[in-house]
């Protein structure tokens, strides 16, 4: 049975280490063969839009763009619909492979048997 990991990242430049850790864990889980679902909420929503996510400027950290590419290639990425609407982000704005969904979808994923959920 493949492990399923559900991650929600809620921060960006205001908490760079926490944000980077979320993307690092998501990419590492993909590389380890887990099914990964990464949700972008709050200011992390900007990473759903090419070129809009902040540079975290962390030494010794892999660039978020590299980590996002891994997750988009090997996992799933979802943008919170309310977060997108508050920021004026539409489906036409997001990276290829990013879906937009609401809290009910997150809860449904989180309550699926065998899912481990982490919030950063």
**What is the CB neighbour count within 10 angstroms for residue 89?**
22
Report which DSSP code applies to 54: P
**Sequence-ordered list of residues with C-beta below 8 angstroms from that of 84, at least 6 positions apart, any chain:** 45, 48, 90, 94, 100
**Sequence-ordered list of residues with C-beta below 8 angstroms from that of 36, at least 6 positions apart, any chain:** 4, 5, 7, 26, 29, 30, 71, 74, 75, 76
The one-digit pLDDT tens for each residue of the chain (120 residues) are 468 999 999 999 999 999 999 999 999 999 999 999 999 999 999 999 999 999 898 999 999 999 999 999 999 999 999 999 999 999 999 999 999 999 999 999 999 999 999 999
The third-level CATH classification (topology) of the domain covering 4-119 is Hypothetical Protein Ychn; Chain: A, (3.40.1260)
Phi, psi of 96 (to 5 degrees): -60, 135
pTM of the model: 0.95
């Amino acid at each position: 049975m493949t492990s399923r990991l559900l991650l929600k990242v809620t921060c960006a430049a205001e908490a760079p280490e926490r944000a980077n850790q979320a993307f690092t864990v998501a990419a590492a889980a993909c590389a380890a063969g887990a099914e990964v679902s990464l949700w972008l909420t709050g200011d992390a929503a900007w990473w759903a839009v090419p070129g809009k996510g902040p540079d975290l400027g962390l030494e010794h950290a892999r660039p978020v763009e590299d980590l996002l590419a891994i997750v988009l290639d090997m996992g799933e990425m979802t943008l919170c619909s309310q977060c997108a609407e508050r920021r004026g982000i539409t489906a036409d704005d997001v990276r290829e492979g990013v879906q937009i969904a609401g809290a009910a979808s997150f809860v449904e994923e989180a309550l699926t048997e065998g899912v481990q959920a982490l919030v950063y």
